[in-house]
Amino acid sequence: MEATTQRQHPLWILTKMIWLGIFMVIGASILFHLVGQRYQVVFDTQAERCIPEYSVYLVDRSVTTFERGGIYTFTARNMTPYFEDGQPIGKYLAGVAGDHVVQNKHGVFINGTQIADGNYAAAEKLGVSPEHYHKTFVIPEGHFFFVGSRTAPRSFDSRYYGLVNQDQLVGGANPLW
């Protein structure tokens, strides 16, 4: 009796490669979708950055606890001519609900600690005098005071556009480079 040998179809390897490619594309698509829901890469393209040490951030949207000194991202609201509404902004969180803020010619103080100098450089571009920003207030619940780095004295921050509402917060910004 003769042994019969089965011959493989000449396109069998091509068929397997196509199926493997389909599964890899589907798997990568699912992975990118899941990662993209939590993370976002944000580039700071300004010529004069408010945090000069970094220009690329990985934003973690799952961050829900906001602490003084951390870098966070929020969406711009009423920040023209510097930023369009909805643009992601990254800054240091300097003040939280209950903090006492004083803005005067000597600088910006939160709970008695100076966080920015008294140079209101953006006032001229905004068409108002620096004295327009001199005020004293307590940060209400659900609001935050953000500033740029101390190495960026020209930072357009909460001393100009006011407090950031909690619904504007996007997440924590982890500097990459």
Looking at residue 151, its pLDDT comes to: 76
Residue 138's pLDDT is 98
Question: pLDDT (tens digit, 0 to 9) for every residue of the chain, 177 residues total?
Answer: 566 677 888 788 899 999 999 999 998 988 887 888 999 999 998 888 989 999 999 999 999 999 999 999 999 999 988 899 999 999 999 999 999 999 999 999 999 999 999 989 899 889 999 999 999 999 999 999 999 998 787 889 999 999 999 999 999 999 999
pLDDT of residue 4: 67
How much is the pLDDT for 3? 63
Does 39-175 carry CATH code 2.60.40.1120? no
Cis upstream peptide for 130 (omega within 30°): no
4: its two tokens = 């019969």
- In angstroms and rounded to an integer, the radius of gyration of the C-alpha atoms of the chain is 26
Distance between CA atoms of 83 and 88, rounded to whole angstroms? Answer: 9
DSSP code per residue over 126-169? HTS-GGGG-EEEEPPTTEEEEE--TT-TT---HHHH-PEEGGGE
What sign for the dihedral angle of Cα 118, 122, 125, 130?
Answer: negative
Query: Which sequence spans correspond to the domains of the chain?
Result: 39-175
DSSP notation for 1-30: -PPP-PPPPTTHHHHHHHHHHHHHHHHHHH
Task: Quote the pLDDT of residue 35.
Answer: 81
